[in-house]
Amino acid sequence: MNVFVIGIGLIGGSFVKDVKAKLSDAKVFGIDAKPKHLEEALSLKIIDHGATYDDLSKADFVFVSIPVNEMVKELPRILDAVNDDCVVCDAGFTKELICKTLANHAKRRNFLACHPIAGTEFSDSSAAINGLYEGKTNIICEVENTAFKLQEKALEIFQLLGMRIRYMNPNAHDKHIAYVSHLSHISSFMLGKTVIEKEKNERDIFDMAGSGFESTVRLAKSSPAMWAPIFEQNKENVLETLNEYIQNLMDFRELLLVDDFEGIYNEMNNTNKIKSILKGIPINKK
């Protein structure tokens, strides 16, 4: 099987590392806009061969993991170049604009809109790791628009990598992911900004930062080149979630101002149920 990865960073690199480990007959070809990324991926044996769009006609499976603003420009070109038996999957963190862009493409049946929810705060090909997708959820949108035999081809690979599949429409995906992913990245970036501006002494930040701060600000190390286009494409949903978050912060601030520490305790106690939610334990609603 000829597997192509377009964009050889953490997401794409980790994906094909596991494909190579699980599929003995897989030959992995890499395409990247930056030649140094190709060189690094080859030296790390993440890919077997460098390639260009001219080689896509021999692809059986294409995994596209580039920033979402580039996705909407490049996916039509990629679909133009593949053969009728090839399935093209993306890893975009937004889905609505991508699906709308490809809605009338002649080879729409070759495209499977995906969002594997996996990653770290790192983004280069050197950050690619084995097992990144094991047990992770892969959101698939508009599956009915993909040829059935090509759906099956992609699902076989996803299952080999240990991924859980969930189906969702693009609008619902973008709305929900704004809450559980996009907002947390904004919070992390802005917490980091606040601390940097207040604590001018970098040594103090390093010495006094506990595990709580480190885990909360971890996402601020994520790539702005990847995240700025995500916020642009999902602007309306991000604004909605951000307004709600800001209101909650203002309510918390008001409780502090009036010395309502019982109210603060109750707010935190009520939110503690997030522990059970994230463990998959049903919450008893009274």
What is the residue extent of each domain of the chain?
A: 2-168, 172-278
Give me the phi and psi of 181, to 5 degrees please: -135, -55
Q: How far apart are CA 30 and CA 5, in angstroms?
A: 5
Chain centroid to Cα 220, Å, comes to: 15
Pairwise CA distance, residues 1 & 27, whole Å: 6
What residues does 116 pair with on adjacent strands? 138
Residue 230 CA to residue 246 CA, distance in Å, equals: 20
Instruction: For tokens 């093209």, name the residue.
Output: 88
The radius of gyration of the chain's CA atoms, rounded to the nearest angstrom, is 21
Look at residue 286 in the predicted model and tell me its pLDDT. 38
Q: Is 115 helix (H, G, I), strand (E, B) or coil?
A: strand
pLDDT of residue 199: 67
**What confidence score (pLDDT) does residue 271 get?**
87
Whole-angstrom distance, CA of residue 198 vs CA of residue 152? 53
Q: What sign does the CA torsion over 18, 52, 233, 112 have?
A: negative
Q: What pLDDT does residue 76 have?
A: 98
Q: Does domain 2-168 have CATH number 3.40.50.720?
A: yes
pLDDT tens, N- to C-terminus, the chain (286 residues) = 999 999 998 999 999 999 999 999 999 999 999 888 899 999 999 999 999 999 999 999 999 999 999 999 999 999 999 999 999 999 999 999 999 999 999 999 999 999 999 877 766 777 889 999 999 999 999 999 999 999 999 999 999 999 999 999 999 999 999 998 999 999 988 988 888 777 666 666 556 566 666 777 778 888 888 899 999 999 999 999 999 999 999 999 999 999 999 999 999 999 888 777 566 644 444 3
Tell me the whole-structure pTM to 2 decimals.
0.86
Nearest to 63 by CA among 98, 107, 14, 104: 14
CATH of domain 172-278: 1.10.3660.10
| pLDDT value at residue 20 | 94
Looking at residue 19, the DSSP 8-state letter turns out to be H
The pLDDT assigned to 66 comes to: 96
pLDDT score of 203 = 62
Distance of CA 82 to the CA centre of its chain: 24
Tokens of 186: 């904004």
- Write down the residue that tokens 């809109």 correspond to: 113
Do 9 and 3 meet the contact criterion of CB atoms below 8 Å apart? no
